[in-house]
Amino acid sequence: MLVAQEKYVVTIDLRTVVDDKVKVSCIMPKVESDEIEFRVPKIVPGTYSVYDFGRFFTAFKAFDAEGNELQTERLTDNRILIKNSKALSTVSYWIEDTFDSDKGNFIFEPAGTNIEEGKNFVLNTFGFVGYLQGKKNQLYELHIDYPAGMYGASSLDKVSTNDSSDVFLATNYFDLADSPIMYAEPDTTTFEVGGADILISIYSPNKVLDPIFVKEQVEPTLKAQYEYLGELPVDRYAFIIYLFDSSPGSGKLGALEHSYSSFYSLPEIGHFQLGQIIRDVAAHEFFHILTPLNIHSEEIGNFDFINPKMSKHLWMYEGVTEYAAGLAQVKYGEMSLADYLAVLEGKIKSSREQFDDHLPFTELSLHCLDRTESQYGNVYQKGALIGMALDIRLRELSGGDYGLQHLMIDLAKKYGKSSAFKDGELFDTITEMTYPEIRSFFTKYVEGTSPIPYEEFLAKVGVLFKPASTKKELSLGHISFSVNDIDNRLVIHSIDQMNIFGKEMGYLEGDIIDKFDDVVIDIENYEEEFSAFTDRHEIGDKITAIVLRPNKNGKQKKVKLTAHAMSVDRKSAAQLKLMENTTESQLALRKAWVNK
Ligand SMILES: [Zn+2]
């Protein structure tokens, strides 16, 4: 229900681009104070970076109802003081875009703005529109005048449209800022998943990507997530995709999530690679509909765009989102268990090698804008693994019946879009909803400094964690082979990485391995023979190989190579694999975990 209330009426004129800028004018709500600040976000939800969007608001002017200019004073990049504000009627300013900015502190494109006359406009609305201090909760009526032939894609409520102008409504500044809009030549498709209308809209300057292809990539994932959740908490969702035909200013690709949409910045590359990236990124972004949209703390529910307070719970907002995006795919048939174990293996490796495994995750989360900024990337690695360990523990305590999947759905029911939890109470609330043992899980592994013993958690579901190791073993010389397609013989393809034994032997690129250790080698037996060689010999044994080496006139000459066997360090990475001997209860818990 909309009670008559004071509102902002904003007009953005995309038809007139002057010096790469567009003009914005706004009729303001009534002000009772003598002075008031016009504010623009320093930071926006989901980015966890300070961007100072006010830097792109230029030539700011405020006027009374008769059109007389009011005095203003710029206090910071993001705060402009308007004097005699009881008389305030309108403001106007010119917006510079961020995509081609040279102002420094570059804004990652999914949170940025683009003004590309005649081609494309990216309106992350917080980069075009501000609010008056204390008046964030007024209605916004957004009028956009756009060039002929373009289409405005957004999840925002479009209340009227004609061939040159759209009108959107947002209930308050938070909802406006939560809704990017992209104008370009129409290139869209729509479909339905679980009762939600899905829109895909693309800008691809060289038409390397079309919306039907994107639909084919994301639809199975969305269906898996619908099955995982039982119902979707949104009735509509927009995937808005901008493709670069040159390298983007940030040098990065990625996306930013919103409640009813996500905005993607991707390179124009081949379909195979792009399809994979879109599937992975969209699976993650779409799952944000659960958290933070429907499960968030007060810090996010009532977001302070100027002095944001961070929450302790990035393990959930980003980590559980990342974990669930993968789990839903393996659980509902979109990914094999082997592929999923490889994903988890990669996360264990990077969380241990690239990040501080002893840093309490709640600390990482609270200070991600300052002293733990360099650890932020771990939200996608260890954050997801916290989700995995918690999931397995919940399944174990409930005899398989209750997992993270159920907990997240129950939390969304308990809180939902409009009610927030107190940041300091979430761990206790989850404990009350589940088992007393879960409190010690959080105390130890999320608030505490103890690394998670993944070995122990994975063993509960019959997955063996083989840690990384180095062992000494006899070497063939660390040369790489290819197969000669004429006679299926093994050819030395590269000696770039050759070790000391290989050098002693004197292998050359192009040598065909005829005999090794007195056995004739071909495509059929080489793997078996090469591994048997390490069992047959000891350090110091004389090893012989016969190679066929091409000479200058193209003929092959038999050359005998010899050296004494020596051992070298061989590193193997940590590995996850299914245990060979498992108990009934391990298998039952694995079934409950991944439905495999
Ligand atoms: Zn995310």
- Tell me the percentage of the chain whose pLDDT exceeds 70: 99
pLDDT band, residue 3 (cuts 50/70/90): very low
pLDDT exceeds 70 at position 133: yes
Q: How far is the CA of 429 from the centre of ligand 1 (A)?
A: 23
Say which range, 166-175, 253-262, 573-582, has the weakest mean pLDDT: 573-582
Q: How far is the CA of 370 from the centre of ligand 1 (A)?
A: 19
Q: How far is the CA of 402 from the centre of ligand 1 (A)?
A: 25
pLDDT exceeds 90 at position 467: no
Taking CA 116 as the corner, what is the angle to CA 110 and CA 119, rounded to the nearest 5 degrees? Answer: 100
pLDDT exceeds 80 at position 75: yes
Q: Which residue, among 178, 169, 226, has the nearest Cα to 46 in the 3D structure?
A: 178
Taking CA 176 as the corner, what is the angle to CA 175 and CA 178, rounded to the nearest 5 degrees? Answer: 60
Residue 129, both tokens = 């529109």
pLDDT exceeds 70 at position 5: no
CA dihedral over 77, 6, 13, 168, signed as positive or negative: positive
Query: Whole-angstrom Cα distance, residue 428 to residue 425?
Result: 5
Q: How far is the CA of 128 from the centre of ligand 1 (A)?
A: 24
The counts of H helices and E strands in the chain are 16, 31
Q: How far is the CA of 320 from the centre of ligand 1 (A)?
A: 9
The overall average pLDDT reported for the chain is 93
Query: Whole-angstrom Cα distance, residue 283 to residue 218?
Result: 7
Check: CB of residue 322 under 8 Å from CB of residue 546: no
Q: How far is the CA of 493 from the centre of ligand 1 (A)?
A: 43
pLDDT at 2: 38
137-171 as b/e: b if 16+ CB within 10 A: ebbbbbbbebeeebebbbbbebeeeeeebbbbbbe
CB atoms inside a 10 Å sphere around CB 483: 14
pLDDT exceeds 90 at position 552: no
Q: Which residue, among 174, 213, 219, has the nearest Cα to 194 in the 3D structure?
A: 219
Q: How far is the CA of 51 from the centre of ligand 1 (A)?
A: 18
Residue 314, both tokens = 């990035």
Q: How far is the CA of 293 from the centre of ligand 1 (A)?
A: 12
Residues 101-123 have pLDDT tens digits of: 999 999 999 999 999 999 999 99
Amino acid found at 104: G
pLDDT band, residue 483 (cuts 50/70/90): confident
Q: How far is the CA of 413 from the centre of ligand 1 (A)?
A: 21
Q: How far is the CA of 52 from the centre of ligand 1 (A)?
A: 21
Residues 369-412 have pLDDT tens digits of: 999 999 999 999 999 999 999 999 999 999 999 999 999 999 99
CA dihedral over 366, 367, 372, 377, signed as positive or negative: positive
Q: How far is the CA of 321 from the centre of ligand 1 (A)?
A: 7
Q: How far is the CA of 253 from the centre of ligand 1 (A)?
A: 13
Residues 139-192 have pLDDT tens digits of: 999 999 999 999 999 999 999 999 999 999 999 999 999 999 999 999 999 999
pLDDT band, residue 22 (cuts 50/70/90): very high
Q: How far is the CA of 257 from the centre of ligand 1 (A)?
A: 6
Q: How far is the CA of 288 from the centre of ligand 1 (A)?
A: 7
Q: How far is the CA of 248 from the centre of ligand 1 (A)?
A: 20
Whether the bond into 292 is cis, omega within 30 of 0: yes
Average pLDDT over residues 420-428: 97
For 363-393, give the DSSP string: HHHHTTTTTTGGGGGGGTTHHHHHHHHHHHH
Say which range, 249-253, 364-368, 483-487, 589-593, has the weakest mean pLDDT: 483-487
Per the model's pLDDT, the better-predicted residue between 285 and 572 turns out to be 285
Taking CA 177 as the corner, what is the angle to CA 175 and CA 181, rounded to the nearest 5 degrees? Answer: 100
Q: How far is the CA of 572 from the centre of ligand 1 (A)?
A: 31
Check: CB of residue 461 under 8 Å from CB of residue 586: yes
Q: How far is the CA of 139 from the centre of ligand 1 (A)?
A: 28
Sequence-ordered list of residues with C-beta below 8 angstroms from that of 304, at least 6 positions apart, any chain: none
Q: In angstroms, what CA-CA distances link 389 with 320, 405, 417, 529?
A: 11, 13, 27, 42
Check: CB of residue 11 under 8 Å from CB of residue 26: yes
pLDDT at 4: 39
Average pLDDT over residues 424-431: 98
pLDDT at 524: 83
Say which range, 281-285, 419-423, 494-498, has the weakest mean pLDDT: 494-498
CB atoms inside a 10 Å sphere around CB 269: 14
pLDDT band, residue 1 (cuts 50/70/90): very low
What are the beta bridge partners of residue 543? 563
Sequence-ordered list of residues with C-beta below 8 angstroms from that of 319, at least 6 positions apart, any chain: 361, 379, 380, 382, 383, 384, 385, 386, 387
Average pLDDT over residues 65-74: 97
pLDDT band, residue 500 (cuts 50/70/90): confident
Q: How far is the CA of 275 from the centre of ligand 1 (A)?
A: 19
Check: CB of residue 262 under 8 Å from CB of residue 284: no
Q: How far is the CA of 70 from the centre of ligand 1 (A)?
A: 42
Query: Whole-angstrom Cα distance, residue 311 to residue 291?
Result: 13
Q: How far is the CA of 251 from the centre of ligand 1 (A)?
A: 19
Q: How far is the CA of 314 from the centre of ligand 1 (A)?
A: 9
Residue 278, both tokens = 């879109």
pLDDT at 271: 87
Q: How far is the CA of 404 from the centre of ligand 1 (A)?
A: 18
pLDDT at 179: 97
Average pLDDT over residues 489-499: 89
Residues 267-308 have pLDDT tens digits of: 999 888 899 899 999 999 999 999 998 999 998 888 999 998
pLDDT at 428: 98
Q: How far is the CA of 411 from the centre of ligand 1 (A)?
A: 18
pLDDT band, residue 100 (cuts 50/70/90): very high
Check: CB of residue 242 under 8 Å from CB of residue 201: no
CB atoms inside a 10 Å sphere around CB 219: 15
Query: Whole-angstrom Cα distance, residue 266 to residue 64?
Result: 44
CB atoms inside a 10 Å sphere around CB 370: 9
Q: How far is the CA of 416 from the centre of ligand 1 (A)?
A: 18
Q: In angstroms, what CA-CA distances link 144 with 125, 127, 536, 588?
A: 11, 14, 78, 57
**E runs forming strands in 318-425:** none
Q: How far is the CA of 317 from the centre of ligand 1 (A)?
A: 7
Check: CB of residue 593 under 8 Å from CB of residue 482: no
Q: How far is the CA of 567 from the centre of ligand 1 (A)?
A: 46
